[in-house]
């Protein structure tokens, strides 16, 4: 008889975003005339940059010729894209990252889950609370946690609360851990980390032989020149950190799919016997075995992000979404709500009003304003009493959503 992976049965009833979709579907079926505005899931709305579209169109034309046709590409990504990333995103900021340390993929969500393939089951794991749900759920699926308690926290994980009191920057663990998930700019709170704060994490990881899994998917939205965009801007990070990046939010690739992960050469873990093993080689083998690479056409589109035209167009997209975030912050504050984030990140984190819990506020906005957001409790127990709105939408929708919320 076929057995299932029992670890999946430990997952909480519904992944956050499918549950949101279920509730919205039920509402729209009951109210077919309602014009629902979705500021929940962080999906972009503006068209792909022209430079990327043109590069992909040229690649499609090339694929129609014998000379320009490409079959299977390198699982790690084409060298010309990896070199462009290394030069523009890292070396230009003084980071010692080479092209061979960059692995192209179809999404940082996938990579932050798949990285567990090369890491042992006995690692002690720390996550922030609230947290991007994939970090937790992928560990549950892999059998690396116990059951969830009444508050939704899983046994075997160390939760690091991020709250208004600590500026939404997690405290260092009180007990030693081996794996640390960090996301800055933070999803869901919109908080950022200073160089000094990241240095504390790097120093901790080096002192405890721990590994930082650093999600920098929103780094392009940082406008303050004093804030770091990469963990590798911190001395010593190459010896203790893997970084995940994506073209989804900065260049609108959510439906096109292209991202990358940086695994430095010389970064090591240990075998069960305590022998050091380079993680680069393990990840390279994992990708070569279980991944066939991102399409040639998409990678040409991603390469165009680094052209002068692409850089200008991407800056325009980022500016547009951050203007949305500023409107959301301004209007919600004017409505008397307590608001965080939205200044170096495309997410606004709201304290729910009038004693409403997170899902209660979700239902209130959906039913009364026909606006969809994301309940903070879906990101973890410490997210209860908070609510996330995304700046990824049209200007008309953002303005109308804020008008409706203020009218409440």
What's the pLDDT score for residue 351? 97
Which segments are annotated as binding site for pyridoxal 5'-phosphate? 72, 108-109, 132, 187, 218, 246-248, 257, 292
Q: The tokens 């410490």 sit on which residue?
A: 382
Q: What is the CA radius of gyration of the chain?
A: 21
What's the pLDDT score for residue 355? 87
CA distance 346 to 170: 20
Query: Is 197:227 a contact under the CB 8 Å cutoff?
Result: no
Please report which helix (H) or strand (E) contains residue 341, including its range.
strand 339-341
CA distance 186 to 190: 5
What are the residue ranges of helices labelled H in 75-156? 79-85, 108-114, 133-141
CA distance 384 to 220: 28
- The 10 Å Cβ neighbour count of residue 270 is 12
Query: Is 38:24 a contact under the CB 8 Å cutoff?
Result: yes
Q: The tokens 């890292």 sit on which residue?
A: 90
Interior/surface letters 317-341, b for 16+ CB within 10 angstroms, e for the rest? bbeebbebbebbbebbeeeebebbb
Which segments are annotated as binding site? 15, 42, 72, 108-109, 132, 187, 218, 246-248, 257, 292, 388
- The answer for residues whose C-beta is within 8 angstroms of residue 369's C-beta and 6 or more apart is 401, 404, 405, 407, 408
Which segments are annotated as binding site for substrate? 15, 42, 109, 132, 187, 292, 388
DSSP 268-308: EEE-TTS-EEEHHHHHHHHHHHH-----HHHHHHHHGGGSH
What's the pLDDT score for residue 246? 98
Q: What is the pTM of this model?
A: 0.96
**Of residues 240, 179, 244, the one with CA closest to residue 216:** 244
Instruction: Encode the chain (408 residues) as per-residue pLDDT tens digits.
Output: 999 999 999 997 666 878 888 999 999 999 999 999 999 888 999 999 999 999 999 999 999 999 999 999 999 999 999 999 999 999 999 999 999 999 999 999 999 999 999 999 999 999 999 999 999 999 999 999 999 998 889 999 999 999 888 988 889 999 999 999 999 999 999 999 999 999 999 999 999 999 999 999 999 999 999 999 999 999 999 999 999 999 999 999 999 999 999 999 999 999 999 999 999 999 999 999 999 999 999 999 999 999 999 999 999 999 999 999 999 999 999 999 999 999 999 999 999 998 899 999 999 999 999 999 999 999 999 999 999 999 999 999 999 999 999 998
CA distance 81 to 240: 25
CA distance 144 to 400: 44
What's the pLDDT score for residue 2? 97
Cα distances from 385 to residues 351, 362, 376, in angstroms, run 6, 11, 7
- Helix then strand count (H, E) for the chain reads 11, 15
Query: Is 391:322 a contact under the CB 8 Å cutoff?
Result: yes
What's the pLDDT score for residue 257? 98
CA distance 382 to 380: 6
Report the 3 state secondary structure along the chain: CCCCCHHHHHCCCCCHHHHHHHHHHHHHHHCCCCCCEECCCCCCCCCCCHHHHHHHHHHHHHHCCCCCCCCCCCCCCCHHHHHHHHHHHHHHHCCCCCHHHEEEECCHHHHHHHHHHHCCCCCCEEEEECCCHHHHHHHHHCCCCCCECCCCCECCEEEEECCHHHCCCCCCCCCCCCEEEEECCCCCCCCCCCHHHHHHHHHHHHHHCCEEEEECCCHHHCCCCCCCCCHHHCCCHHHCEEEEEECCCCCCHHHCCCEEEECCCCCEEECCCCCEEEHHHHHHHHHHHHCCCCCHHHHHHHHHHHCHHHHHHHHHHHHHHHHHHHHHHHHHHHCCCCEEECCCCCEEEEECCCCCCHHHHHHHHHHHHCEECEEHHHHCHHHCCEEEEECCCCHHHHHHHHHHHHHC
What's the pLDDT score for residue 19? 85
């Amino acid at each position: 008889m076929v057995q299932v992976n029992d670890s999946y049965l430990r997952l909480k009833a519904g992944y956050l975003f499918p549950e949101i979709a279920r509730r919205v579907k039920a509402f729209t079926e009951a109210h077919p005339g309602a014009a629902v505005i979705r500021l929940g899931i962080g999906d972009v709305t503006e068209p792909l940059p022209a430079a990327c579209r043109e590069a992909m169109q040229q690649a499609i034309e090339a694929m129609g010729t014998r000379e320009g046709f490409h079959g299977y590409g390198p699982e790690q990504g084409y060298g010309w894209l990896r070199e462009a990333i290394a030069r523009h995103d890292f070396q230009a900021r003084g980071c010692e990252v080479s092209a061979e340390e960059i692995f192209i993929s179809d999404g940082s969500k996938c990579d932050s889950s798949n990285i567990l393939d090369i890491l042992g089951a006995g690692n002690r794991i720390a996550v922030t609370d609230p947290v991007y749900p994939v970090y937790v759920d992928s560990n549950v699926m892999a059998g690396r946690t116990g059951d969830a308690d009444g508050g939704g926290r899983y046994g075997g994980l160390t939760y690091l609360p991020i709250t208004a009191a600590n500026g939404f920057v997690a405290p260092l663990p009180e007990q030693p851990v081996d794996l640390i998930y960090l996301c800055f700019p933070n999803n869901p709170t919109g908080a950022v980390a200073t160089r000094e704060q990241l240095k504390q994490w790097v120093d901790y990881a080096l002192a405890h032989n721990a590994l930082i899994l650093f999600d920098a998917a929103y780094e392009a939205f940082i406008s303050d020149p004093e804030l770091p965009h990469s963990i590798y801007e911190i001395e010593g990070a190459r010896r203790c950190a893997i970084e995940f990046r994506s073209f989804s939010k900065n260049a609108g690739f959510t439906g096109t799919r292209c991202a990358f992960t940086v695994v430095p050469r010389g970064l090591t873990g240990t075998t069960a016997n305590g022998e050091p093993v380079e993680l680069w080689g393990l990840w390279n083998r994992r990708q070569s075995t279980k991944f066939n690479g991102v399409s040639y056409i998409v990678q040409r589109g991603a390469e165009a992000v680094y052209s002068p035209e692409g850089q200008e167009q991407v800056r325009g997209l980022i500016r547009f979404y951050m203007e949305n975030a500023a409107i959301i912050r301004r209007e919600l504050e004017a409505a008397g709500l307590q608001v965080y984030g939205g200044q170096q990140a495309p997410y606004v984190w709201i304290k729910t009003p009038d004693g409403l819990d997170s899902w209660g506020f979700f239902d209130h906005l959906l039913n009364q304003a026909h606006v969809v957001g994301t309940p903070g409790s879906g990101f973890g127990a410490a997210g209860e009493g908070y609510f996330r709105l995304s700046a990824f939408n049209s200007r008309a929708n953002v303005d109308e959503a804020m008008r409706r919320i203020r009218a409440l």
